[in-house]
Structure 1
């Protein structure tokens, strides 16, 4: 309980409230660079999971039969790319990172690095026709964990505005929260439907790809205001 209250920035008994309860704050640039590297490796591993057909005498048919692998590759690549974009959205508004934020970010990267395996499992299940429900639930659960961690990281960073940049106003922070919050519910719904019908569940999980690629209106307005202010300064 004392550790949890410290993580939230609340004073513990016999201690004064600290501005940096979880270690010293650091420039988040190295965390962003490391995150970019992990994400780049994860999307590269996706294509390595697609195994060429062994029967070269019927190569065309073998290539066509790999369609589940192509679909899983495309969907997962776009989803990881989407997480990469939104990861930059978060860290563009985070001026410093303490140890708790770095830990949460590390957990997120651990899940992202696991996605090629979940994608491969899904593709093999649809190719064989067996275990599709289990594979879809496993795939959805992996994304669910990533979506939850995204929300936890952002809400921790904006709590008390300790780690946010001075140019990130409350409207911008709320706009980003509104964009992130539906993801766990959306993915959970798709995963639950996948337990009944794997194809429908996969379609629902995939459907939020275009939504999360859209710009965040509140964030765009904040960037415009910041640019206008900087241009107006002598």
Structure 2
């Protein structure tokens, strides 16, 4: 990997980075490629956890009885899709990766690779009856860990504009931080609710899906400003 020159660390306002990276800086493109591959494998493994009915004589009934597997598959697939999208949001604004960022991203990928197992545990608990609360709490804890790692990665990269691109201004960084900070709190509330009422807790976690697919307004404004400046040219 090629090292990225430190001189590329200036912000759009002309301010230099206030904090130094940890070790040599490298092009983050391979980080994104590897992360995409791990996410793609995890999403693919989700469907392999759905076992076809053994009783083909009553096939339709058997397929309908698999609804917990369909539910776990659908929710986990969409949540993994959110992780993939927001991972790209982060790295669209990260110009380089140092040693600590690589470690943090590896920890995030470790959680992502674990999600097919978590999904299968949830499906099995709903199929067999007992253990719903424990399975949902386990599910929430793992997703909570992923959301916390997201925030840690972004805060590390954006602190003092340490690893961000020169076109990422403070308003954009704050808008992304604000969106990411919602996730751990939302998932923690949903997980706590699962202890009291499993179905209500699952609905609360699932409601997280449409919210996180919404665009980040501050980021959009920044992109529009950058494009307008490029179209108008230098003053």
Q: TM-score, normalised by structure 2?
A: 0.90
1:23 corresponding residue in structure 2: 23
- Structure-1 separation of matches of 2:124 and 2:43: 18
- Structure-2 separation of matches of 1:216 and 1:115: 26
- Structure 2 matches for 1:139-158, cutoff 5 A? 139-158=139-158
- Structure 2 matches for 1:1-234, cutoff 5 A? 19-20=20-21, 22-233=22-233
Segments of 4+ in structure 1 off by > 6 A? none
Offset of residue 231 of structure 1: 1.5
- Structure-2 separation of matches of 1:195 and 1:109: 27
CA RMSD after TM alignment? 1.1
- Structure-2 separation of matches of 1:92 and 1:152: 17
- Structure-2 separation of matches of 1:228 and 1:106: 36
Offset of residue 18 of structure 1: 7.2
Whether the aligned pair in 1 keeps the contact of 2:19 and 2:160 (CA below 8 Å) is no
- Structure-2 separation of matches of 1:18 and 1:66: 52
Residues 1:27 and 1:130: Cα distance change in structure 2 (over 3 Å): same
Aligned residues: 217
Offset of residue 19 of structure 1: 2.4
- Structure-1 separation of matches of 2:35 and 2:107: 11
Q: Unaligned stretches of 5+ in structure 2? A: 1-17
Q: TM-score, normalised by structure 1?
A: 0.91
Q: Unaligned stretches of 5+ in structure 1? A: 1-16
